[in-house]
Structure 1
Amino acid sequence: MQEAPPSYDAPSFPSAPPSYGGGAPQAPPPGYPGAPPGQPGVAFAGPPQPGYPSPGPTNTGPTGPDVMDNPGMAESLPSAPSLDKMDDIGGYSGTSFNSVAAAPPAYEEALQQGPPERGPITSVPVINEEQAREALQQFVSQHCCYGKGPVRQMTFRDLKSSSAFHYMLETFSESRSTTWAYEPFVGQAIDGPQYGPAPGPWDIQAEPQVKFQDAEKHLEVPHTASVKPCHTCAGVCRVRCDHCHGNGRTICSTCGGSGREQYFHEGQHRHRKCNYCHGDGRLRCFRCQGHGQVPCKSCNAKGQLKCYIKLTIKWKKHMDDHIVERTSLPDDLIRSVSGQTAFEEEAPLVWAVTHFPDQTINQASRQLVDRHRTAYNMERILLQRHRVRIVPVTEVISNYKGKDFNYFVFGFENIVHAPDYPAKCCGCVIL
């Protein structure tokens, strides 16, 4: 007697206030301190906050002798601000500049009312000798080095028809993670903690555009933004050039700084003024154009940063399958052809198949459904669907010039698998 699956309760997905939908920052109310008249939704940064250096030149002067010119040297990448300069946002104390996964809330599963009614499983059609010959003829026509003699002259000894079963389980899940992020402040609206507590990562509304399709979305967590002086340039908008170390000049790589280059003429080594640096031995830094400073990349030369917590939402489809095929036909070939869908179900959480005539499929369904229940602990299951396809398979036993050879015809397309075809003109191997 089939053991009944355990009971599960219905899922209750949290809903968020409408103002959180889509992740757009909420406009500050009129009268916000620091907002100029007529612009109640914009907050401008004031003086540097405690713990930040006062605005002024940082790392702007030369640090030593000129360095060798290297046009291929990569530019330095902006660094992230120190975490101790970030605001303390309730519920996000563990957030860093590296992505931190947010554990999904507990929810109840929807299996209380038992499995749905399932109709009977119908059989698939089988092919006859004429269709088996036509399928082989089509197969041979696609291979220029295969002779057509066996197609015309072979005799059929037997056609063994069977069915392959293909069970597929798909789980559509959602994961959420948070990280501190920053961008140049150019006067955009700042939705900070003064407008209320920040909602939790799973309290923000977001819906996937397409079910069972991988997607990713980034949102600003409401009430987490603030404006801070740029940590890289301390608000002065420029930093020392990392190519020339602030000198504005580099050593000519052609002459090594001597201003002279060697050449060979009439059997002798001679010297002349370097054509690249015109005898100076030094070159103007191509990166800073000789100024010794370059625009700050962290703030895009604006001097201030908008810092906020970024929510990353990922939707992912997990798929597992199981094939039951009891002939020598490779199982993987069953995935590539069409068949008859015996049944298909979609639900927040599906019941394992228990009514299929082949018990191997029932067992595989139970195992895969149980595995998907527990395999994605940091993801929330939104939807599941599973199906069983029945794929017709016919093993054709034939004779050509007194020798037996077998081939397979499978799928509704009547695809042929004939690795032992007897009239190959070369050493082709058909997968």
Structure 2
Amino acid sequence: MNEKDEELGEFDPNIPEEGPTSPPPGWLDCVTGYEEPKGDDAADQLYPPPPAYNPQPENDRNASVPIVRVPTVSEDMAREALLKFVASKWCYSSKPARNLVFKNLKPLTVYRYRLETYTETRSSTWECQPFTGGQDVDGPQYGMSPPPWDIPVIAPQRYKDEVQKICVPHSSVVKPCHRCHGFGRVRCKHCQGKGSKRCTACHGSRYTRNKRCGSCHGRGRRRCVFCHGKGNRNCESCAGKKYLLNYIQLTVTWKNHVFEFIPDRLPEFPLKKLEKVTADPFFVDENLLVYPIVGFPDQDICEQSRIATQEHFSKFSSVSRILQQRQSIELVPLTHAFYAYDGKDFEYFIYGLENKIYTAKYPSACSIL
């Protein structure tokens, strides 16, 4: 390292210390409809939809559900499903599945209820970018900014989660950078603007082992690697341009809120396995607001439908615009198979339209074919 590389910068009192990354309160003008909220959740400010967009439930309407027949599984289907399952387990022998004797195939009635509430939520925050002089500035001179819910957006496919960010019309304004106070550069915080830091080899003493320190050439300080000895660096917010284009960014969030319920009446079968298999959706009800299911034989489904629709309406209607709701009841195929093999009794479950298998115990596990 030569002497030139170790030249130390001089402190420049004109270059300001680095300011906050976000504009301080009052730095930007208040825009009607986008007033800054009090507290620490400014970036998460939610704008409830206008009252005219809040749907109201009709107490005199309910959803009726048809009665369905529980599907049955034949012995051939049950054996084929078990053979396919065994083939996926390297330590399971296929011999028991081929030679077992069925004692009973018991179909079980399992319903899966699902409620979806598709909402649109809007929030806003001030954003900025370096102003180079070439950008269009859509400021208040062109008119007032429209309220958050009056800004048109292109909605995504229904029930699909998506986020869009939009610059609010007529909200742009050019101001000196708040971080560098319009200087374009800020004092290096690592060396406090001095351009050098105390040598870590000699700890500033200039000597090591009674010899002149070879790391700092006896200066006791070394050039700051963060500012390359200048004592200051380009402002990260304005990229040295001194000015920022500030604007209000509207964030529109579409989200599908899902509630699912499966009555738990089979302690010997893990209920979570029924959540990801395909079922038969024999009932689907879709509207701006759906209404509690009544008259269905499984009263737990009716009760959960009543609770879920009330909770979704209460939770989402005050802070979001409810765009659509959809509820469904699916019949999940489930068969309890009992069989005998080698003088012992065993059992397994066949579930889902995929005919998946669950068994807690299988004969001849970890045996060689």
TM-score (norm 2): 0.85
Is 1:103–2:48 an aligned residue pair? yes
Distance 1:211 1:396 in 2: 40
Q: CA deviation at 1:313?
A: 1.5
Distance 1:235 1:111 in 2: 55
Q: 2:171–2:248: 8 Å Cα contact kept in structure 1?
A: yes
Partner of 1:81: 23
Q: Which of 259, 277, 287 pairs up with 1:337? A: 277
Distance 1:245 1:136 in 2: 72
Q: Which of 396, 409, 412 pairs up with 2:337? A: 396
Aligned with 1:85: secondary structure? coil
Q: After TM superposition, list the pairs within 5 Å mapping 1:154-303 onto structure 2.
A: 154-187=100-133, 188-262=135-209, 271-303=210-242
Deviation readout 1:237-264 (Å, 9 max, x if unpaired): 11211111111111111221233334xx
Aligned with 1:336: secondary structure? coil
Q: State the structure with bigger RCO (CA 8 A, min sep 6), 1 or 2.
A: 2
Q: CA deviation at 1:406?
A: 1.4
Q: CA deviation at 1:169?
A: 0.8
Distance 1:289 1:361 in 2: 69
Aligned with 2:275: secondary structure? helix
Q: After TM superposition, list the pairs within 5 Å mapping 1:23-38 onto structure 2.
A: none
Q: CA deviation at 1:138?
A: 1.8
Cα 1:174–1:237, aligned 2, differ >3 Å: closer, same or farther?
Answer: same
Distance 1:95 1:307 in 2: 18
Distance 2:98 2:228 in 1: 80
Q: CA deviation at 1:173?
A: 0.8
Instruction: Report the AA paired with residue 210 of structure 1.
Output: Q
Q: CA deviation at 1:355?
A: 4.9
Q: 1:165–1:325: 8 Å Cα contact kept in structure 2?
A: no
Q: 1:58–1:234: 8 Å Cα contact kept in structure 2?
A: no
Q: CA deviation at 1:112?
A: 6.2
Q: 1:57–1:236: 8 Å Cα contact kept in structure 2?
A: no
Deviation readout 1:112-165 (Å, 9 max, x if unpaired): 698699784442531112222222222222222223343234322111112211
Cα 1:291–1:318, aligned 2, differ >3 Å: closer, same or farther?
Answer: same
Q: CA deviation at 1:318?
A: 0.7
Q: 1:226–1:307: 8 Å Cα contact kept in structure 2?
A: yes
Q: Which of 261, 270, 282 pairs up with 1:322? A: 261
Distance 1:211 1:57 in 2: 56
Aligned residues: 348
Distance 1:239 1:139 in 2: 66
Instruction: Report the AA paired with residue 313 of structure 1.
Output: V
Counting aligned pairs with the same residue, the percent is: 39
Aligned with 2:109: secondary structure? strand
Instruction: Report the AA paired with residue 128 of structure 1.
Output: S
Instruction: Report the AA paired with residue 123 of structure 2.
Output: S
Is 1:375–2:315 an aligned residue pair? yes
Distance 1:238 1:293 in 2: 6
Q: After TM superposition, list the pairs within 5 Å mapping 1:35-184 onto structure 2.
A: 57-59=14-16, 78-95=20-37, 98-106=43-51, 107-109=53-55, 120-184=66-130
Deviation readout 1:142-200 (Å, 9 max, x if unpaired): 22222334323432211111221111111111111122222222222222222222211
Partner of 2:346: 405
Q: CA deviation at 1:395?
A: 0.7
Q: 2:15–2:232: 8 Å Cα contact kept in structure 1?
A: no
Of 195-204 and 112-121, deviating more is: 112-121
Q: 1:408–1:417: 8 Å Cα contact kept in structure 2?
A: yes
Q: 2:350–2:358: 8 Å Cα contact kept in structure 1?
A: yes
Q: 1:163–1:325: 8 Å Cα contact kept in structure 2?
A: no
TM-score (norm 1): 0.74
Q: CA deviation at 1:234?
A: 2.4
Cα 1:123–1:275, aligned 2, differ >3 Å: closer, same or farther?
Answer: farther
Q: Which of 386, 392, 401 pairs up with 2:327? A: 386
Q: 1:95–1:180: 8 Å Cα contact kept in structure 2?
A: no
Aligned with 1:314: secondary structure? strand
Distance 2:111 2:241 in 1: 63
Instruction: Report the AA paired with residue 367 of structure 1.
Output: I
Of 117-126 and 203-212, deviating more is: 117-126
Distance 2:204 2:220 in 1: 4
What RMSD, in angstroms, separates the aligned Cα atoms of the two structures?
2.6
Unaligned stretches of 5+ in structure 1? 1-55, 61-75, 263-270, 427-431
Distance 1:135 1:325 in 2: 24
Q: 1:395–1:408: 8 Å Cα contact kept in structure 2?
A: yes
Partner of 2:6: none
Aligned with 1:138: secondary structure? helix
Distance 1:77 1:240 in 2: 10
Cα 1:77–1:332, aligned 2, differ >3 Å: closer, same or farther?
Answer: farther
Instruction: Report the AA paired with residue 354 of structure 2.
Output: E
Is 1:352–2:324 an aligned residue pair? no
Distance 2:324 2:23 in 1: 39
